[in-house]
Amino acid sequence: MIPTRKIEQAISLLFSVPAIFSEHLIKWEDELLRDSYDHNAFKYSDQPSVEEFRKAVAYQKARGDYFIKLEGSAPLKNSFGMEEEITLTMLLRDDAESVSWKINPHVKLMEPETEQLEQHEIKCFGPLYGESFAARNFRRRHEKMTYHGAYLEETLVGACYTYSKDGYTCLDGLVVDSDYRHQYIATTLIKGIVEAAHKNSSRVFLHADIDDTPKEMYIKLGFEEVDRIYEYVCTDFNTLK
């Protein structure tokens, strides 16, 4: 198994309980945050049959859920009408030199205050997912992950969270306040986390959307793709084929 997959599975186990559903599907469920796509998904080991997928859809409907998500490490041959999304797993190369990264010397890195961090998450993710979900999702992660904050004076302008295990540190959820972007806040955060991880002999990896521009910044810093996660989500069962 690719080492980063072991860490990703350990993170999933912090939130979701897996159960064998069918020959090619394992259902992961988080009863405390049932409307989270990430924590409530069917992970496939191979292409599920039409019968397996129909059974999965019926299961979701019986639970009162309005969505279905399939996730795996290879693309589906039949996605049943769902759109494919790809998340890259990017590992920092051993020869990457963080000392040369551009940072903002005015940014102070420290553990963020919970109330400030929740408001930061709501501001960044509320317009996209709704304020209620953004707040509940943050509280769920805050229980399990280590959060890092970037401050300009007394203002929290950027944050992310990490999880470390077996010589690897996963960095995720990196978001900079839209009012403070293009000021090297993200690279300042990443550098602080990388240097702390290296002191503990831990390698750093993160996730990036294949269609978003942040991956270009990660490549310049020395991160390279080592794995892919294929995701298929449907929120309107009438569109399924």
The predicted pLDDT at position 144 comes to 95
Is there a single domain that holds both residue 186 and residue 69? no
Query: For residue 95, what are its two tokens?
Result: 């020869």
Q: Which amino acid is at 149?
A: G
> CATH no. for residue 187?
3.40.630.30
The Cα–Cα gap between 183 and 213 comes to 16
**Would you say the C-alpha torsion 209, 241, 31, 25 has a positive or negative sign?**
negative
Give the predicted TM-score (pTM) of the model: 0.93
87 CB neighbour count, 10 Å cutoff: 16
Q: Domain containing 17: what range?
A: 3-87+230-239
Helix ranges (H only) for 64-181 are 114-129, 131-144
Is there a single domain that holds both residue 62 and residue 160? no
Q: Are 76 and 85 in contact (CB under 8 A)?
A: no
Please tell me the total count of domains within the chain.
2
Q: What is the CA radius of gyration of the chain?
A: 19
The Cα–Cα gap between 117 and 150 comes to 10
**Average pLDDT of adjacent 10-residue blocks, the chain of 241 residues:** 92 97 98 93 98 97 95 97 96 94 96 96 93 96 96 95 96 94 95 95 95 90 97 95 86
Token pair 């390698």 in the structure block, residue: 203
The angle at the Cα of 170, spanning 166 to 173, to the nearest 5 degrees, equals: 160
The Cα–Cα gap between 206 and 30 comes to 23
Give the chain's count of helices (H) and strands (E). 6, 11
Is there a single domain that holds both residue 115 and residue 176? yes
The Cα–Cα gap between 179 and 57 comes to 41
Is there a single domain that holds both residue 60 and residue 106? no
The Cα–Cα gap between 102 and 184 comes to 7
Is there a single domain that holds both residue 82 and residue 171? no
